[in-house]
């Protein structure tokens, strides 16, 4: 049986990158990747191990029920949201869930990030909505996130953080960085005056770009 070492190493490297980028503290947040060409196999970070200490072999592989296939550590307790999104979104090859500060501020305010900067819509797919609140790790949170993600690649989780998907780890990570940057711009701009949205026809054109860009 394969031990999926290469993909576990990649998930580990990106989890450390997420930590170093300040998107999470300690062991908060989680990263996963779909095992290509195998049904219902997902590589995911383990629960409750600080990213400062995490070793590649502690990253695990789970099946569609969240049960361990490879590895010894318990998977992230957020595995239901990861698995539900992979099942609903064949375009998702990787998922990041982060507790980035400005995304979390908007998640607490339950305020979506509107189309305010040029690069957001082509990569996120439109306004970044806030999924209805449900407790961390619950099936209800998974369901709410899938609903709010419809046709897009990023979502805010009420009172919690953000979540981004992508074709691969690089794209999902970059989108989380972009969403956090847009959240920061929005929060800071709101303090200074009126925020202007992109014109509707531009948003529509950029949504078409999203459909192309997400598969590149
Ligand atoms: P895990 O350590 O189980 O991944 O959970 C952290 C978290 O981000 C909860 O939202």
Token pair of 11, please? 């998930």
Helix (H) or strand (E) holding 68: strand 68-70
Residue-range definition of the domain harbouring residue 177: 5-213
CA 74 to ligand 1: nearest atom: 3
On whether the CB atoms of residues 62 and 29 are closer than 8 A, the answer is: no
Place of tokens 């026809």: 201
Helix (H) or strand (E) holding 44: strand 42-44
**pLDDT-derived band at 2, boundaries 50, 70, 90:** confident
Question: What pTM, to 2 d.p., does this model score?
Answer: 0.98
Taking only the tens place, the pLDDT of each residue in 117-169 is 999 999 999 999 999 999 999 999 999 999 999 999 999 999 999 999 999 99
Ligand 1 midpoint to CA 49 (Å)? 9
Evaluate: CB of 100 within 6 angstroms of ligand 1: no
For residue 156, the domain's CATH number is: 3.40.225.10
78 tagged catalytic:
yes
Taking only the tens place, the pLDDT of each residue in 42-72 is 999 999 999 999 999 999 999 999 999 999 9
Among positive and negative, which fits the CA dihedral 117, 126, 186, 173? negative
What lies within 8 Å, CB to CB, of 71 at 6+ separation is 8, 46, 57, 58, 59, 60, 61
Q: Which of 38, 53, 65, 78 is the catalytic position? A: 78
The structural domain count of the chain equals: 1
Ligand 1 pocket, mutate which of 23, 24, 47, 163 (most atoms under 8 A from CB): 47
C-alpha distances in angstroms, 111 versus 59, 145, 193, 210, 212? 33, 15, 17, 22, 27
């Amino acid at each position: 049986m394969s031990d999926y070492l290469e993909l576990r190493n990649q998930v580990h490297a990106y989890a450390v990158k997420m930590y170093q980028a300040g998107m999470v503290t300690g062991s908060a947040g989680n990263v996963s990747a779909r095992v290509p060409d195998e049904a219902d196999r997902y590589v995911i970070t383990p629960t409750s191990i600080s990213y400062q200490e995490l070793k590649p072999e502690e990253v695990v592989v789970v099946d569609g029920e969240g049960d361990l296939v490879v590895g010894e550590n318990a998977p992230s307790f957020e595995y239901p949201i990861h698995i539900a999104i992979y099942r609903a979104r064949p375009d998702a090859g990787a998922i990041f869930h982060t507790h980035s500060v400005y995304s979390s501020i908007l998640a607490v305010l339950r305020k979506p990030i509107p189309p305010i900067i040029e690069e957001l819509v082509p990569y996120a797919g439109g306004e970044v909505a806030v999924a209805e609140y449900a407790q961390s790790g619950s099936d209800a949170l998974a369901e709410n996130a899938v609903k709010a993600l419809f046709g897009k690649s990023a979502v805010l989780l009420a009172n919690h953080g953000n979540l981004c998907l992508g074709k691969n780890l690089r794209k999902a990570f970059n989108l989380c960085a972009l969403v956090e940057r847009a959240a920061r711009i929005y929060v800071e701009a709101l303090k200074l005056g009126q925020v202007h949205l992109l014109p509707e026809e531009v948003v529509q054109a950029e949504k078409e770009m999203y459909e192309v860009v997400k598969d590149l």
